[in-house]
């Protein structure tokens, strides 16, 4: 349930409503928006008993939230949330540009990648240290050493680090090296992991599950937010369909649906959707045109020898060219890079 305050309501009235909720063992999520001031009720509203909140001074109306997710819903924060990662903001007018290799492979590889994507204009360095591979015999990542190399390369170039955590036991170490955690598609419904990253308070990039609906994805975001971590960014990375021409099917419509239903920023990963280098640019430009809040793209100094996802990683010059085109599309839709 959300409480919509009257336009004339002052701070004292807002404080009284929040205090009333607190007295009944409930939390409050205050959203002061351009159109309205909204107080979201956190917790089991049956604790209110017979209290009629509409009788409190300054309250215009109480509206139930129809979704199973509340904090992630648009109703709770109609102006949209912005997520701070270090000094970078995701969800404002500016697009978040993230790039880097699928996996961290060596110091030389990640430093070259970091320098290349930084020169092209990226603000975030991606790279897997723990890789969730389909085959147990495939390269599994450099693990903690991968996090350390990422941090070093990012510090040298002034980038923010985004990297995946695949288990609860990695969170403490990963938090020392990463500015943002990635929850991969395969772990989108690993609820213990979601709760644990929620408790960590490190910003989270939550990828959509390979066969998950948008509602399930937003419920997964709610798990993280319900632990007090509101710094969640969604990432559409393609879903499994009958089509085999691409690795997954990029659901561009998900951007529009998420913008309508959720307050969270949403970015596009064209690399894992396409699976092929040749399609990355079109999907990226489509994502920006559709209103995505950023792009995360796999870039490798020498994709031919990449230890994972070789077919979909861009070279540094290819990324630099894509970046320039994305900037033009961004400008056309009133955004900047
Ligand atoms: C990745 O980003 O490296 C990755 C494994 O992505 P996904 O979880 O979307 O497959
Ligand atoms: Mn990959």
Long-range contacts of 85-91 (CB under 8 A, 24+ apart): 85/124, 85/160, 85/162, 85/179, 85/180, 85/203, 85/231, 86/160, 86/179, 88/123, 88/124, 88/160, 90/203, 90/233, 90/265, 90/267, 90/293, 90/294, 91/233, 91/264, 91/265, 91/293
Residue 131: predicted pLDDT: 96
Question: What is the average pLDDT value for the chain, to the nearest integer?
Answer: 97
Residue in 306, 318, 307, 305 with CA at minimum distance from that of residue 297: 318
Protein residue whose Cα sits closest to atom 4 of ligand 1 = 184
pLDDT of residue 34: 87
Please, what's the b/e burial string for 322-337 (b: 16 or more CB within 10 A of its CB; e: otherwise)? bbeebbebbeeeebeb
At 45, is the pLDDT very low, low, confident or very high (cuts 50, 70, 90)?
confident
Sequential DSSP letters for 139-173: ----THHHHHHHHHHHHHHT-EEEEE--SGGGHHH
User: What are the domain boundaries of the chain?
Assistant: 2-63, 83-332
Q: Which residue has the tokens 């147990």?
A: 136
Report the share of the chain in percent with pLDDT over 90.
96
Does the beta carbon of 247 sit less than 6 angstroms from any atom of ligand 1?
no
Q: What is the mean pLDDT of residues 327-336?
A: 97
Q: Which two tokens stand for residue 254?
A: 């998900």
Residues, the chain, total? 337
Looking at residue 187, its pLDDT comes to 98
**CA of 298, nearest ligand number:** 2
Average pLDDT over residues 115-141: 97
What mean pLDDT do residues 166-179 have? Answer: 97
Cα–Cα distance measured from residue 75 to residue 142, given in angstroms and rounded to the nearest whole number: 42
Is the per-residue pLDDT at 136 higher than 90? yes
Q: Which has the closest alpha carbon to 207: 192, 215, 217?
A: 217
Fold for 83-332, please state it: TIM Barrel (3.20.20)
With 90 as the cut, is the pLDDT of residue 212 above it?
A: yes
Mean pLDDT computed over 314-334? 98
Summarize pLDDT for 82-104 with one digit per residue, the tens: 999 999 999 999 999 999 999 99
- pLDDT computed for residue 50 by the predictor: 87
Per-residue tokens: 278 = 């040749």
Q: Nearest-CA neighbor of 268 among 281, 278, 277?
A: 281
Band the pLDDT of 150: cuts 50, 70, 90: very high
Choice from 99, 100, 162, 182 to test ligand 1 binding pocket (greatest atom count within 8 A of CB): 182
Q: What is the rounded average pLDDT of the residues 137-154?
A: 97
- Ligand 1 mutation pick, 103, 127, 164, 187, max ligand atoms within 8 A of CB: 164
Can you give the pLDDT at residue 189? 98
Q: Which residues does 94 contact at the CB level (< 8 Å), separation at least 6?
A: 335, 336, 337
Which ligand has the minimum distance to the alpha carbon of residue 234?
A: 1
| pLDDT tens by residue, 275-307 | 999 999 999 999 999 999 999 999 999 999 999
What is the band of 35 on the pLDDT scale with cuts at 50, 70, 90?
confident
Backbone angles phi, psi at 84, to 5 degrees: -95, 125
Residue 147: per-residue pLDDT: 98
- Regarding the beta carbon of 185 and ligand 1, being less than 6 Å apart is answered yes
| pLDDT confidence of residue 253 | 98
Report the pLDDT averaged over residues 17-22: 96
- Domain 2-63 CATH superfamily: Phospho-2-dehydro-3-deoxyheptonate aldolase; domain 1 (3.30.70.1140)
What integer is the mean pLDDT of 13-32? 95
């Amino acid at each position: 349930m959300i409480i919509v305050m009257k336009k004339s309501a002052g701070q004292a009235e807002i404080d009284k409503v929040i205090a009333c909720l607190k007295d009944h063992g409930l939390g409050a999520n205050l959203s002061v928006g351009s159109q309205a001031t909204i107080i979201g009720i956190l917790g089991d509203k049956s604790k209110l008993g017979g209290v009629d909140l509409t009788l409190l001074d300054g309250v215009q109306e109480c509206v139930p939230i129809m979704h199973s997710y509340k904090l992630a819903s648009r109703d709770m924060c109609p102006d949209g949330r912005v997520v701070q990662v270090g000094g970078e903001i995701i969800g404002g007018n500016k697009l978040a540009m993230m790039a880097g290799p699928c996996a961290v492979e060596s110091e030389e590889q990640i430093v070259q990648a970091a320098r290349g994507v930084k020169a092209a204009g990226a603000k975030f360095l991606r790279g897997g240290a723990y890789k969730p591979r389909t085959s147990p015999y495939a390269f599994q990542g450099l693990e903690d050493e991968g996090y350390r190399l990422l941090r070093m390369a990012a510090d040298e170039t002034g980038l923010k680090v985004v990297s995946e955590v695949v288990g609860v036991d990695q969170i403490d170490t990963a938090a020392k090296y990463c500015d943002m955690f990635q929850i991969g598609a395969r772990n989108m419904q690993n609820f213990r992991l979601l709760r644990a990253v929620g408790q960590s308070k490190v910003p989270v990039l939550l990828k959509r599950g390979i066969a998950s609906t948008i509602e399930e994805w937003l419920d997964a975001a709610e798990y993280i937010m319900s632990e007090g971590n509101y710094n969640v960014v969604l990432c559409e990375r393609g879903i499994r369909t009958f089509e085999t021409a691409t690795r997954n099917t990029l659901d561009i419509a998900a951007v529009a649906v998420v913008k309508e239903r959720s307050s969270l920023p949403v970015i596009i990963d064209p690399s894992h959707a396409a699976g092929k280098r040749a399609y990355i640019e079109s999907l990226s430009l489509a994502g920006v045109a559709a209103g995505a809040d950023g792009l995360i793209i796999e870039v490798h100094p020498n994709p031919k020898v990449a230890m994972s996802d070789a077919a979909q990683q861009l070279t540094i010059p290819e990324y630099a060219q894509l970046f320039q085109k994305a900037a033009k599309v961004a400008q056309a839709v009133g955004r900047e890079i």
